[in-house]
Amino acid sequence: MKSNKTIPVQKNEKHTVKIEDLTREGMGVAKIDGYPLFIEDALPGEEIEVKIHKTGKSFGYAKSMKRLTSSQNRVEMKDENFTRAGITPLQHMHYPAQLSFKKQQIKNVMKRIAKVSDVKILDTKGMTEPWGYRNKASVPVRKIGEKLTTGFFRKNSHDLIAMENFYIQDPKIDQAIIKVRDIMRTYNVKSYNEKDNTGNLRHIIVRRGYYTGEMMIVLVTRTAKLFPASKIIPDLTEALPEVVSIVQNVNPTRTNTILGEEAIVLFGEDKYTDTLLGKTYEISHRSFYQVNPTQTEKLYNVILDFAALTGEETVIDAYSGIGTITLTLADNAKHVYGIESIEPAVENARANAVLNNVENVTFEAGLAEEVMVEWSKQGRKADLVVVDPPRKGLEEAFIDAVIEMAPAKMIYVSCNPATLARDVALLIEGGYTAEKIQPVDLFPQTSHVESVTLLTKN
């Protein structure tokens, strides 16, 4: 154990430490002889008695045993299990401190990764009531004792912790999950057993329109059977009158991916609707839809403000999902082109244009990087390119195509500051200036950081 020489602590030792910083995930950081220790439920400035839990070559993990001093930014936790499950890693932090923490993270990556220190970073737009905001829940189903149980996995594991109140979800969704669970228990539906890939019900997903109250239930099962569906469906719709759609999604694979390829519509159609900034949207069980509706409206208003459209512009909205940003911008633009890779989302987007009588939009199904390269080769032009990619950010080919197309403005909606900063660095190299960044808190109590960046062509 040669490398142990440089590690100044050993498993199970007790130490008193002072928290100096927070990781991106919101864990406290303390150092012993320069060796960093990561500690859950620990805030900067606090003195804590910890027990060393795990040691690695360059950092370790410790458990808080006793807090000796408390930060003024500390608030009481709703439920310790939530930190254990990694659902709300910031629940012990006063909400205004969470908002500053998120702004600070963007500042850090802009300096460290993008090497820009002059971009204006605005204060994070937060919620008045930062709980009960999620319009979608995906809860795993396992057997605990003899009972089919719903809850959440312990962090980095698949051990189910039974839970009924999730606090950050729409309370109507929490109640719906309990009702679905109880009906499944009544009919002795078998919960999925991951170890030997037996049993059937893997996940219960509930989505609910914030403005419409329409509910969709997705039952993810291992096999196409759902015995006895003819009894379960009427029971579900009677217990939950808001339900407009019940879909069974079959996922026979042994992966962490929740949804499988096959879907069977058990009730209604594979869609429910909600509204955003006054427009109505159809959403299929496969389609992405932002989980925090009121904050999404704030986010889109920031996009509208940064876009400052006059009605003359050609706009490209890449990673357009069901077309929410596309249709929001269409009112003030000449034409908006959406690009989206998931076919059912593109179908939703086209239907949503019709539903809202919007005619100046076109949706292209395909990979954003391939479509943009093609369009730039064809010499197509745009005044504004909006992007809203998943966590991994943009492909270099996409960025090169934007630089080639040379729109006067680009708006980058990001859910991952690290990839945002990496991509902004490339855009700056390509002749753009990062003007300002507006963080919007879409995920209170969690460490996720969402932001909108305005870039202009030099």
Reduced to 3 DSSP states, what percent helix, strand and coil does the chain have, rounded to the nearest 5? 25, 30, 40
Nearer to ligand SAH, 92 or 207 (CB): 207
Least separation in angstroms between residue 454's CB and ligand SAH is 17
Establish whether 388 is an annotated binding residue.
Answer: yes
* Given 38, 82, 306, 319, the residue binding ligand SAH (CB under 6 A): 319
CA separation for the pair 279, 290 (Å, rounded) = 15
Least separation in angstroms between residue 154's CB and ligand SAH is 28
- State whether residue 327 is helix, strand or coil: helix
Is the Cβ–Cβ distance between 339 and 366 less than 8 Å?
Answer: yes
* Given 313, 340, 347, 450, the residue binding ligand SAH (CB under 6 A): 340
Nearer to ligand SAH, 114 or 339 (CB): 339
CA separation for the pair 440, 216 (Å, rounded) = 27
The residues in 363-382 that bind ligand SAH, with binding defined as CB under 6 A, are: 367-369
Q: Which residues contact 347 (CB under 8 A, 6 or more apart)?
A: 284
- Residue 321 as a binder of ligand SAH (CB under 6 A): the answer is yes
CA separation for the pair 346, 366 (Å, rounded) = 9
Burial of 4 per CB tally in 10 Å (0-12, 13-18, 19+): exposed
Nearer to ligand SAH, 46 or 423 (CB): 423
Burial of 207 per CB tally in 10 Å (0-12, 13-18, 19+): buried
101 noted as active-site residue: no
Number of residues that bind ligand SAH (CB under 6 A): 17
Is the Cβ–Cβ distance between 106 and 451 less than 8 Å?
Answer: yes
Least separation in angstroms between residue 386's CB and ligand SAH is 8
Q: Which of 180, 415, 418, 454 is catalytic?
A: 415
Nearer to ligand SAH, 189 or 346 (CB): 346
CA separation for the pair 291, 135 (Å, rounded) = 5
Supply angle C-alpha 37, 43, 47, rounded to 5: 70
Nearer to ligand SAH, 363 or 432 (CB): 363
Is the Cβ–Cβ distance between 206 and 215 less than 8 Å?
Answer: yes
Establish whether 340 is an annotated binding residue.
Answer: yes
The one-character DSSP state at 9 is -
Nearer to ligand SAH, 147 or 391 (CB): 391
Least separation in angstroms between residue 351's CB and ligand SAH is 15
- Residue 174 as a binder of ligand SAH (CB under 6 A): the answer is no
Using the rule CB under 6 A, give the single segment among 21-29, 156-164, 229-237, 337-345 that binds ligand SAH.
Answer: 337-345
Provide the residue type at 238 as one letter: E
- State whether residue 353 is helix, strand or coil: helix
The residues in 385-444 that bind ligand SAH, with binding defined as CB under 6 A, are: 388, 390
The residues in 259-298 that bind ligand SAH, with binding defined as CB under 6 A, are: 288, 290
Is the Cβ–Cβ distance between 220 and 246 less than 8 Å?
Answer: no
In the complex, which residue's CB is closest to ligand SAH? 321
CA separation for the pair 85, 81 (Å, rounded) = 6
Nearer to ligand SAH, 71 or 320 (CB): 320
* Given 320, 414, 419, 453, the residue binding ligand SAH (CB under 6 A): 320
Using the rule CB under 6 A, give the single segment among 109-117, 265-273, 321-329, 445-453 that binds ligand SAH.
Answer: 321-329
Q: Which two tokens stand for residue 326?
A: 């596309």
Using the rule CB under 6 A, give the single segment among 90-98, 205-213, 214-222, 339-347 that binds ligand SAH.
Answer: 339-347
- Residue 341 as a binder of ligand SAH (CB under 6 A): the answer is yes
Strand partners, 385: 316, 410
Q: Which two tokens stand for residue 271?
A: 């869609």
Nearer to ligand SAH, 91 or 348 (CB): 348
- Residue 239 as a binder of ligand SAH (CB under 6 A): the answer is no
Q: Which two tokens stand for residue 79?
A: 């439920």
Using the rule CB under 6 A, give the single segment among 102-110, 150-158, 362-370, 422-430 that binds ligand SAH.
Answer: 362-370
- Residue 116 as a binder of ligand SAH (CB under 6 A): the answer is no
- Residue 339 as a binder of ligand SAH (CB under 6 A): the answer is yes
- Residue 56 as a binder of ligand SAH (CB under 6 A): the answer is no
Least separation in angstroms between residue 437's CB and ligand SAH is 17
Strands (E), 68-187: 120-121, 136-144, 147-153, 160-162
Note the residue count of the chain: 458
CA separation for the pair 137, 329 (Å, rounded) = 29
Residues binding ligand SAH (CB under 6 A)? 288, 290, 319-321, 324-325, 339-342, 345, 367-369, 388, 390
Which residues participate in catalysis according to the annotation?
415
